[in-house]
Structure 1
Amino acid sequence: MKKMPKWADVLLIPAINLSLAFLISGLVIWAIGKDPWVAIKTMVQGSFGDSRGLGYTLYYTTNFIFTGLAVAVASHARLFNIGGEGQATVGGLGVALVCLAVPWPHWTLALPAAILGGALFGAAWAAIPAYLQAKRGSHIVITTIMFNFIAAALLGYLLVNVLKEPGNMAAETRSFPPGAHLPTFHEMLAPFGIDFNKNAPANISFLVALLCLIGFYVLIWKTRLGYAIRAFGQSESAAVYAGISPVKITIIAMLISGGLAGLMAINNVMGEAERLILNSVEGAGFIGIAVALMGRNHPVGVFLAALLFGFLYQGGAELALWESIPRELIVVIQGLVILLTGALDNMVRAPLEKLFLSFGKGEA
């Protein structure tokens, strides 16, 4: 049976969906009395025009890479993990406990320990919904979204009653020791004579995220475990016939997913805030769903989608600052992207697939 070429599925359909989203957004901007062309120029200039804007864009992109990969791993096993928000929240707790437990002499020692702490805590938070799905039949969507609220409540309690620095009115931990501060792009690029804005929050965790993209590709497409995950996601009955355990794959896929979501904390908790605060995730767990959907659960697609949403976040802030366009309008644009790449994806896919097949351009 012939189907649409892979490049059209991976590149052309998302490009059309994105163009439609921006077209509709432009009409909305025009309807409120603003110039859409000026708006897009402001967003691009504010996101990529200088090292400060680029630093913020890459900071947001880093968060979305981690949460996008978290959703993508589970999706390959046909598990819809929407608990990235809670897993990243608990991952932040793990990173904070590691950073505060030891007077770290240097970040090169603190970073691997924090990676381990964030991944373990995120995986542990995903393990409970995974067990309930695999052994008790509880739906993963329901349990993971419930655990988002439990994670927020747990962190709030711990920050107010256990981890808050004495005498501090804010619900946050004390600052991490200097040895647990990650180098920013300014510090990383200065030895090469490159002047990067010192106030931009992008840091070395961006490189960790890129390594996770590579590791994700190797895991899913180059290992036996990845093959088992994909086989289970394609057909549970066929996977069982081949000797693949549904319980084992469900739990392992969710552990990896939760661990990746927990890794986000090395960027926002350790790299940017340098302490644990309430609501440090700021919705990145939910944006990861859109990133995985738009990126077709492929590392290249996840990176490009994460960069797009990083651009929308930073560009939206610039619009609100310079053009007096409400910040909520960027949420509308994000919603349109999610709607067109997710719920309405078949609106573009079906006619395009028919077009390719009618010209005999399909693949077997």
Structure 2
Amino acid sequence: MAVRSRTGFSRQEVNRTVWEVPERYRDLKQVGTGAYGTVCSAWDRRAGAQVAIKKLHRPFQSKLFAKRAYRELRLLKHMRHENRSFRGHFRPFLNADYKIKLQFLVYQMLKGLKYIHSAGIIHRDLKPGNLAINPDCELKILDFGLARQADAEMTGYVVTRWYRAPEVILNWMHYTQTVDIWSAGCIMAEMLLGKPLFKGNDHLDQLREIMKITGTPAADFIVKLQSQDAKNYIRSLPKVPKKDLHSIFSKASSSAVCVLEKMLLLDPEQRVSASEALDLPFFSEYRDADEETEALPYDQTMDNTDLPLDQWKRHTFTEILTFRPPRDSRETSL
């Protein structure tokens, strides 16, 4: 039950957390929670649409948290795409959903990634829990809190292991947008199998699980590795041949397996891009090239700046005050 709070705001308790939101938002229901925040769905009475509201946990407790909150806010403001926004009655993506129009779901995921990547951004935490679908089978990519620019330093110890690209696990090399393509391949594989494809118990076990299918890398890939320790480790592994994905996905069409073969490649330079993947025959039934839009470049200047906590607060409030929601509620990201 919402109770009156500040003028123009109402207060509501959801799962023992108090939410104080503008009165236009009603019927808050929690849809997800994580280490950095909680997301509720709400009905926007003014727009006549369902929206998502994210409440960050103590965003200004440190410079790191403040910078992260600022970056997430700016990324959300920058992204304007139908597979990035939040509209309609969405629910978390579940394994059982793999039966519902696989082609359409994967197509939308790649269409969203093409848009994100065109801005020079890597999501880097793409996993089933960061996807949502509604009853009309519309897919949305959620949670940009961990997203970083393609040319910034990334650690690799924050994403969910089962969907983590192999080059991230041992910090092999400079990462590119193809880390998201690997994750997309893992998600597509899970939709086909009904269970995760690579389910390692730790970093090295995850790598071993991956190589059971991709095979151990050849010498031309090993020389690309920046870490001598990584080179020595890979050379020490017993040679395992690449598995035929058709034998693992025996019930899938050859065109579906073709997509997986191009996404689940050990060498990130050989992986298909989101734009190239959309050209594959598997997606021809749903493809609308006019809808495969690209974004304006994302200005990363502030993201690589080290500022005091108070300045991060000030920049965050400025971003909030200058936000102008788009007229089309279907593209409202915040």
- If the length of structure 2 is used for normalisation, what is the TM-score? 0.27
Q: Give 1 or 2: higher strand fraction.
A: 2
Name whichever structure is richer in helix by fraction. Answer: 1
Instruction: Please give the TM-score of this superposition, normalised by the length of structure 1.
Output: 0.25
* Structure having greater relative contact order (Cα 8 Å, sep ≥ 6): 1
